[in-house]
Amino acid sequence: MIKDFREMKRILVKQSILAFKIYDMIVSSFLPAVTQMIYDMGLQDSLEGITFECPTQALKEKTPVVRCLLEGKNYTSKEIDELFSNSKKTGESLYYVEEEKLQNIAPDIIFTQDVCEVCQIDTECTAAAVSKLEKMPELIALTPQSLEDVFETAITIARAMKKEEIGVTYVSKLKKRIDRVIDVQRKHQLLPKSTLLLEWIDPLFNCGHWIPHQISYAGGIDMMSHPSGDSIVIPWEKIVMYNPEVLIIAPCGYNVKRTLDDMKFLEEKPEWETLQAVKNDQVYIADFDMFTQPSASTLVNGIEVLAKIIHSEYYPTPTNLEHKFVNYADLKLVI
């Protein structure tokens, strides 16, 4: 009798666990940055349905449902700019949702964005795809403009997933890393260096949104940037007049290797060799995900890398990030 009772109790507990799992929340992320933060916070068990550009680990474990017509293509910076510019004019998005896969996932929440319709699928395109689903998910559009907004976005994600305390702890730890970067500058009374970070090469785009704040925390100042606003095309002549001490090339969507293919467009510019950053070997190439992908942890990685670039003698090279940036002069010597 006791044995039967224990067996019945075991079965009931098992059924309760299964029931909990069946009704557990499912979220989809249409943003690589959101996917990264979900993984950072250890909430990935509730994630299913991501984009083709999400972090490698997520692509191994989750189902991509957002695709792009440019996948697998090898275009120059100028060609990509022209394709997206034409897409904006015609109103035809280059991104699309695999609706059958999304239907099978049946998420409760979809995280999307309205910061940049060029970089990622936007809320309008997402809403059009979602309207055809049998189960209507909640769309949460994330629109960070500043670095602080990105931190708030992390907490918003965690709150939506009923794990707000995890988000708060996550952000707190990241802010402590920034404090350590600032403490070095305070200790050594470092002056900010004039810096320019380019988000695109052809045409030339300055940096916007949270990137100027990253540069500031790292001990630089980018007088050609657009803090908390969109990046814009800037004329080469203004760059020559600005003549920054440090020049960082981090085109959106490009890693170091891909950026190298387009460096010829800069080297062909008049006065390239006269820029003090070029003459003093202070031109760097860096992976985009530390800057234009607004996941809180990767942006803090970017601050630490920028600090090493801008004030190299005062900061160690982050060993886990040394493969994500390179001094262009050093690379040319190897080539």
Full-model pTM: 0.88
Q: What is the pLDDT of residue 1?
A: 47
**Which structural domain, as residue segments, surrounds residue 26?**
20-143
Q: Is residue 155 part of a domain?
A: no
Look at the block and give the residue holding tokens 């969507």.
Answer: 253
Q: Is residue 204 part of a domain?
A: yes
Q: Is residue 208 part of a domain?
A: yes
Q: What 8-state DSSP symbol labels residue 149?
A: H
Residue 170, CA distances (Å) to 34, 167, 217 in order: 14, 5, 19
Q: Same structural domain for residues 114 and 211?
A: no
Q: What is the pLDDT of residue 17?
A: 42
Q: Same structural domain for residues 136 and 200?
A: no
Q: What is the pLDDT of residue 2?
A: 47
Q: How far apart are CA 314 and CA 307, in angstroms?
A: 8
Q: Same structural domain for residues 198 and 139?
A: no
Instruction: Provide mean pLDDT across the span 269-292.
Output: 96
Of the candidate ranges 22-26, 168-172, 326-330, the one whose mean pLDDT is the lowest? 22-26
Q: pLDDT digit string (tens) for 20-62?
A: 444 489 999 999 999 999 999 999 999 999 999 899 999 999 9
Residues of 232-267 as b/e, b for ≥16 C-beta within 10 angstroms?
eebeeeebeebebbbbbbbbbbbbbeebbebbeebe
Q: Same structural domain for residues 208 and 322?
A: yes
Of the candidate ranges 139-143, 162-166, 214-218, 219-223, the one whose mean pLDDT is the lowest? 139-143
Q: pLDDT digit string (tens) for 117-161?
A: 555 566 677 777 777 778 889 999 998 999 999 999 999 999 999
Q: pLDDT digit string (tens) for 92-106?
A: 777 888 889 999 999
Cα 88 to chain centroid distance, Å, stands at 22
Q: Is residue 148 part of a domain?
A: no
Q: Is residue 31 part of a domain?
A: yes
Q: What is the pLDDT of residue 16?
A: 46
Residues of 4-29 as b/e, b for ≥16 C-beta within 10 angstroms?
eeeeeeeeeeeeeeeeeeeeeebbbb
Q: What is the pLDDT of residue 333?
A: 63
Q: What is the pLDDT of residue 75?
A: 80
Q: Same structural domain for residues 25 and 133?
A: yes
Q: Same structural domain for residues 136 and 26?
A: yes
Q: Same structural domain for residues 211 and 112?
A: no
Q: How far apart are CA 197 and CA 211, in angstroms?
A: 8
More confident residue, 84 or 19: 84
Q: Is residue 15 part of a domain?
A: no
Instruction: Mark which of 82, 112, 143 sits at the end of a domain.
Output: 143
Q: How far apart are CA 312 and CA 44, in angstroms?
A: 36
- Residue 58, domain CATH: 3.40.50.1980
Q: Is residue 227 part of a domain?
A: yes
Residues 95, 64: contact at Cβ < 8 Å? no
Q: Same structural domain for residues 126 and 205?
A: no
- Residue 73's pLDDT band (cuts 50, 70, 90): confident
**Number of structural domains found in the chain:** 2
Q: What is the pLDDT of residue 10?
A: 53
Please give the structure tokens belonging to residue 317: 């090279």
Q: How far apart are CA 163 and CA 154, in angstroms?
A: 11
Q: What is the pLDDT of residue 194?
A: 98
Instruction: Mark which of 108, 143, 178 sits at the end of a domain.
Output: 143
Give yes or no for residue 208 having a pLDDT over 80.
Answer: yes
Q: Same structural domain for residues 197 and 329?
A: yes
Q: How far apart are CA 40 and CA 59, in angstroms?
A: 15
Q: What is the pLDDT of residue 12?
A: 46
Q: Same structural domain for residues 205 and 319?
A: yes
Q: What is the pLDDT of residue 128?
A: 72
- Residue 175's pLDDT band (cuts 50, 70, 90): very high
Neighbours of 323 (CB within 10 A): 10
Q: Same structural domain for residues 128 and 201?
A: no
Mean pLDDT over the full length of the chain: 88
Q: Same structural domain for residues 225 and 330?
A: yes
Give yes or no for residue 7 having a pLDDT over 60.
Answer: no
Q: Is residue 182 part of a domain?
A: no
Q: Within the chain, where are the H helices?
A: 2-22, 32-40, 56-61, 77-90, 99-105, 123-130, 147-160, 164-188, 211-217, 236-242, 256-260, 264-267, 276-279, 296-310, 328-334
Instruction: Mark which of 101, 117, 143 sits at the end of a domain.
Output: 143
